[in-house]
Amino acid sequence: MRLFRLPLFLLVSLLLSLAACSKKTVSFNSKPDTGGLALSGDTLTTAQDTTKAPSLIAKRTTLTKEQERAAKEKEKAAQRKPKKKKNIFLGERIKKAYVKSGGKGKNQRIETFYYLRTFQQPNPYAPARYVYDPKKRRIIKANGDIDGNLFRVLHGPYKKTEGGKVVETGYYAVGTKHLRWETFNRDNILLTKTHYEMGFPRDANITYYDGAQKQVKEVIPFVNGKLEGDYVRYNENGQLEWDGQFENGKRIGTWNRYWGFRNARNRLRYEYQYGETGYDPEVTEPVLVKEYNRNGVLIYEKDKLDKRGEADTARPGMKK
């Protein structure tokens, strides 16, 4: 059988006619006709958006050792608790402390107070100066110059409680009572209120030896027109002559008389005892409790010792 063969030019013509009858094919890369309806562009394929889109491939960042160290320090600083504010009172840095006494329960007495971190000598003319004795763990009234190696000068808020009840509040300033001091009973009833200015009662009668009012002669404490508080008197050379305490207009407790030597500050001569409180009958004639000679040696103690008629053979400053 003989195959039917078409001439070459007829084959080409046939192929062209078939192509003309088929549907038009549109390429995805071709641009739409501008003559028809405008198509909205796909913003996901624009260069502007694709450059801002986050990459799904993690990029590894290389840090130097210094940068790693700085990052760790920053992380630690963020986790570290904020430092407590420094305790400051009247411009001075202070430290908090407390002492307990009187047993437990209702009889327990707690004193909460502050003292100077940097030692300062209190005003020598102040009627009373208070310090904390860390060794004996108690607050004491100081006499003479204070040894900064042994004692801490009180400075800041003070509070005393008994059996959990507040019985006294106030402030110290460089070892002296300052601002308002109040006392309460256990039913929280106010008993007394006194105002101080760096150790001196606000209503005290203060006299001076000099016109510039720098050398104190006598401090007579008054509260609401009545004698109340610490009394002091100085010699003209600046040495202490007398000190004691008034309550309810009466002398109470121990009153001290000093020799007043210029080269021996606050050397005791006599100690007298008055009543315990100002609400008891007034003691007009105090009891002599102790006596010291000019060298500071104890020569008399009530019901214990009496060497006042003997020659002084003791060394200066020596006590029994």
Q: pLDDT, tens digit, for every residue of 261-316?
A: 888 778 999 999 999 999 999 888 999 999 999 999 999 999 999 999 887 766 55
Binned at pLDDT 50, 70 and 90, residue 50 comes out as: very low
What's the pTM? 0.62
Listed by start position, the domains of the chain span 86-202, 203-320
From residue 151, alpha-carbon distances to 86, 135, 138, 275 in Å are 22, 9, 10, 30
Pairing state of beta strands 205-208 and 216-220?
Answer: antiparallel
SS3 253: strand
Cα(281)–Cα(228) distance, integer angstroms: 16
Cα(24)–Cα(31) distance, integer angstroms: 15
Length of the chain (residues):
320
Closest of 204, 105, 94 to residue 158, by C-alpha? 94
Q: pLDDT, tens digit, for every residue of 251-275?
A: 999 999 999 888 877 899 999 999 9
Which has more confidence, 118 or 38?
Answer: 118
Torsion of CA 308, 313, 316, 319, to 10 degrees: -60
Q: Check pLDDT > 50 for residue 38.
A: no
